[in-house]
Structure formats: C-alpha cells, structure tokens
A and B are shown apart, each in its own frame.
Chain A
Amino acid sequence: MERKNSKSLKWITNISFFVIAFITLFPILSLLLSSFRPSTELMRKGISLTLDPSTLNLDNYTYIFTQAADYWTWYGNSLAISAITIILSLFFSSMVGYALALYDFKGKNLFFTLVLFILMVPFEILMLPLFQLMIKMQLINTYAAVVIPAIVAPVAVFFFRQYCLGLPKELMDAARIDGSTEYGIFFKIMLPLMTPSLAAMAILQGLHSWNNFLWPLIVLRSNDMFTLPIGLATLLTPYGNNYDVLIAGSVMTIVPIIILFIFFQRYFVAGLTVGGVKG
C-alpha cells in the first residue's frame, strides 16, 4: 500500500519537474521560434501559443545580416568591452586575491575587510559621482568609461583569495630557493595553478559586462558606441520599424552564451555562485 503511494508520488514529482523545466525554457524557445516569424506582426500581436508554420521564414535573419550595420557595431562594442573587462579585471583581481591569501603583511586584514565592505555597497549609489568623474576626465562615450569601474572587481578578488588559500605555499618557497623572483613565482607558477578560478571569473565578468545595462546606458551617448543591451533597448519603442533587428538580434545575443554554457557548464556554475565559496 505504502509502496504504491510512494511510487505515484515519484511519478508526480518527476512530471512536475518536466513541467517546471518546460515553463523555464519556454520564453527562450518561443523567442527562437518567433525569430522566424514576421516581426512587425509579432510586435503588434505578441507571441502566441499557436503557430502557423506557413508564416515561418528567414526574413529577419536575412535583414540583420545584410542591412543592419548598426547591430553589428553594437555587437563589436559588446565583444570589445567584454574582452577588455575580462582581461583587465582578471589580471588585477587575481593579483590582489593572491597577495591577500598567500602573503603576510601589515594591513592585509584591513584590505580584505574593505573588499567585503565594497561588495555590500550598491553600485547605484556611487553612480552619479562616478559619472561626474567620467565627465571631468572626458571619458564619456568611450570604452574606458564603461570598463574602468569594473577593473578591480571585489567579487573576483574575494573568489581568487578563497581559491588561493587552497594552493600549496610550499611551492612558493621551493621556487624562491631556486632563485625565482616573487613576480616569477606568481606569473609562472601560481597563476597557471589558478586556471579553474580564472575560467570561472572570466565567465562571471564576461557575462556581467555582456549583459550590463545601467552604467553603459549612462556613459555611452552615441549609437555607434552602444553595447547590445543598450542598442536593443532603443528598438523597444512602440513606433519602431526595426523589429526584425530586435527579434533576430536578441536571439544572436543569447545563443552564443548558451552554447558556451553547454561546453563550460562547470565554470559557469562556479562563477555565478561565487558567494557560496566558504569563507
């Protein structure tokens, strides 16, 4: 009797999980399908649960690949800004996290406390003074304005510190005996050991700057400097005539990320659940 009960419970749970997964993936799947539908009609009527297969065509994609130069400018900006952010923030944050974990020096605890403190301060509060600063430095409408606030990411510093705490300190001593400089130890011996954490943080920083919205919205002023989210948002008007770019462009904004996710799942998960690292 009880066994029968638990068996049906198992079925119900498993089926509800399929339902949950379907509901979760539904918006993405419906976007994919809709990108093959006439876009103006789509914007007027919304995405329907019913689909007339005869209306499916490649027009949106043909248009975006042949006519939409703006879109590719935004794509280039997004790629460039994400790449610069990843490289700089990984370089600097890994250095800081490494030193906080593996050296003993005065002020170390103070620095670490400051890192944790900045983690708690919402960026939005610093936004207006930073905006003023960017105006003073004449960096408005440049990549630099977008990238600078992200160069030393407290999240990444925290993550690298936790990771480095688990690295063998003996390696550093051995290298010192062999006559390596402290910088040589970092770049040639320890940094390679940090590769998994570098991958996780590259994904976190990359995803963050790929999807970042409010700050770039403030400091980027002209259409040719926009990133993808800003550019796509400009098309979200009721009177637009670029809905084909909006729909197909959205697909091409998220699909590369999903493909990367399929191959590097482990690092995505590690990167996006940073706070779960034990302190």
Chain B
Amino acid sequence: MLPVPKSTKQETILIKGQNQFVKFLNSKKVVPYIFVLPFILSFLILSLYPSIQAIIMSFQSVLPGQVTFIGTDNYSRIFNPTFFKALSNTTIYVILTVSILVAFPIIIAVLLDSKIVRFKTFFRSSLFVPALTSTIVAGMVFRLLFGESDSAAANQFLNWIGLESVEWRYNAWSGMFLMVLLCSWRWMGVNILYFLAALQNIPKETYEAADIDGATAFQKFRYVTLPFLKPVTIFVTTISIIAGFRMFEESFVYWPAGSPGNIGLTVVGYLYQQGIQQNDMGFGAAIGVVLMLIIFVISFIQLILTGAFKRGDE
C-alpha cells in the first residue's frame, strides 16, 4: 500500500464532497424544487405577504412613522356616498362591458367562421389591432374624437344627422359611454379570437347531422353552436367581470384630475385616490379588501349559476 500524501487526501475529500453536493443538486428529487423556487419565493414575498399585509393594514391607520390599530374604523368609513358612487359606476361598467364583449364577439366569430364572409384574415387582424394600443394612447385619441367642440368628429356626426352637440366628458351617461366604448374597442378582437378558437373545435359531423334533420341556420346556431360555446363563454365572462372591477385607466385617461361629480370614479380609482394620493393607506387597503370580497362573491355566484360545481364536465 502506498502512503497517500496528506494534501492529495484532503483534495479527494473536497472533490468528493463537491461531487456529492453536485449530485444532490442534480438528483431528480431536488431539481424540480430548484426549478419552482422562483415561484415559491415570489409567491411568499409578492403575493402571500402583501395579501396578509393588506388585511392587517385595513385595520390600521397608516401614517408615516406612526401605525395604530383602529379596529373596523376604515370599514365603517367605506360606506360613504363617494364609495357607493364608485361602486355603482363600476357595476354599471361591468354589466355593459360584459354584455357587449360577449354578445358581439359571438356573432362576429360565428360569421367569420362561416362561409359567408370573405377576407377573413384581414377582418380578424384589423379587429385585433386595438388590443395592441395602450389605454392611455387610445383614450387620448378618443378624447379628441369625442371633443367638446362642434368640430370634433363625434359632434360633427351628431350635427350632421340633426342632433345637438354633446359635452362628452361632462355628462354621466356620456362619460360612461366613453369608458365602455374605449374598453369594448380594445378587447373586442381578443374575445372574437377566443370564440373563433372554440368554434373550430366543434365537430363538423354535428352540423351534418343537423342538416340531415333539416335544421335552419338559426336552429343550428341555437342548438349546436351555442351549447358548444358554453365553456368559452363562461371563461370570457369571468375574465371580463374581473377586468371590469379592476378598471382604472379607462377612467384616468378621460379625467386625470378627477371627474366632475365623480361620474367616472371607479373602485380602483377611489383606492388610488385615497391610498396613494391622500396617502391614507389603511383606508385604501380596506377598499382593496372590499373589492376582493366583491370579486370572490361574484365569481362564486357565477360558478354556481353556470354549473361549474356540478359533477361531470360537459
């Protein structure tokens, strides 16, 4: 047996140790955890912690360097006319945008999928383009098209068909119209694509069977197409409702310094105004928690209504 020089021995141990560590890092048991580590960290730091912190803050008065527990004061303060105005604006906005962004895309997608319409690719692309713009830029253009003066496009059109000019950004109804229009304009094309994708999954035989039974075009739409579109409709409705309750920019771009009589105030707008601009973070957090509850309750009701909890998927 040859005596092993001391230094080499040490080196071998070191290398061995290193090897084991590398092996450990490379074992199939450990690797997946290393891969999901970024998610775990981001979940803990950027989702879980802020959620808990939001709930804690909503029971506090948060002033710079002075945080005090104030119980449910923030929540009792929420039930004020301004918040209800924001909530009713947001709710109306959600109802309008969801109806528009479900009904029209279905009809347009069905027609685009049929043999009737030509230049399909062109139409599909042009309806999609608005989704590429930022709400700020698009909103600025809408402001110019719906300007107050008689020479702005919308008023020119109204005058042309014999109606009076409208001060678009200064009436409750027209303010709502502007916000709904901006949102619908931007998302119409995306929703059309969702429905188009779903339409392509309907087996052709179903239509052939309906043809043999002598179904009319409308009957085919009502009894074949619509039932097949149910899952995607539920999906589109859900994301549109959530996006609607989160709305902020569509209002900000028309009234960056606040709207007259709060005609454009939304729940998130109120959160921004109170939490950031007034620096009342505790109150802002409480608004956030209420918003979260509203979204949860609505999603839950929707899941029950659409039968997502029934056993057996359609």
Known: A48-B153, A95-B35, A265-B125. A250 touches B50 (CB 8 A): no
Q: Does A92 contact B (CB under 8 A)?
A: yes
Quick check: which of A61-69, A96-104, A192-200 contacts chain B, the rest being far away?
A: A96-104
Kindly supply a per-residue 1/0 record for chain A positions 11-24, scoring 1 wherever the CB is within 8 Å of any chain B CB and 0 otherwise: 00110010011001
Residues of A within 8 A of B18 (CB): none
The answer to whether B42 touches A151, judged by C-beta atoms less than 8 angstroms apart, is yes
Residues of B within 8 A of A132 (CB): 53, 57, 281
Q: Does A1 contact B (CB under 8 A)?
A: no
Whole-angstrom distance between the alpha carbons of A134 and B311 in the complex? Answer: 45
Known: A103-B28, A124-B248, A236-B140. A269 touches B128 (CB 8 A): yes
Identity of the chain B residue whose Cβ is nearest the Cβ of A211 in the assembled complex: B134
Known: A46-B152, A46-B153, A273-B197. A149 touches B288 (CB 8 A): no
A interface residue numbers (CB < 8 A to B): 9-10, 13-14, 17, 20-21, 24-25, 27-28, 30-31, 34, 42-50, 92, 95-96, 98-100, 103-105, 108, 111, 114-115, 118, 120-133, 148-149, 151-152, 157, 181-183, 186, 207, 210-211, 213-214, 218, 228-229, 232-233, 236-237, 246, 250, 253-254, 257-258, 261, 265, 268-269, 272-273, 275-276
B interface residue numbers (CB < 8 A to A): 26, 28-29, 31-33, 35-36, 38-43, 45-47, 49-51, 53-54, 57, 108, 111, 116-119, 122-123, 125-138, 140-149, 151-153, 155-157, 185, 188-190, 193-194, 197-198, 232, 235, 239, 242, 245-246, 248-249, 252-253, 256, 268, 271-272, 275-276, 281, 284-285, 288-289, 291-292, 295, 299
Nearest 6 A-B pairs (CB), nearest first?
A: A46-B147, A46-B152, A99-B35, A211-B134, A103-B32, A129-B53
**What would 19 more interface pairs be, CB under 8 Å, given A232-B136, A232-B137?**
A13-B116, A21-B122, A24-B130, A43-B144, A48-B152, A92-B39, A96-B36, A99-B36, A125-B288, A128-B271, A211-B133, A213-B135, A236-B256, A237-B256, A250-B137, A257-B133, A258-B132, A261-B132, A269-B128
Q: List 24 A-B contacts (CB under 8 A).
A: A14-B116, A24-B126, A27-B141, A28-B141, A99-B32, A105-B33, A115-B39, A121-B292, A122-B291, A128-B284, A131-B276, A132-B57, A133-B45, A133-B49, A151-B42, A152-B39, A211-B135, A218-B276, A229-B136, A237-B256, A254-B137, A261-B125, A272-B190, A276-B235
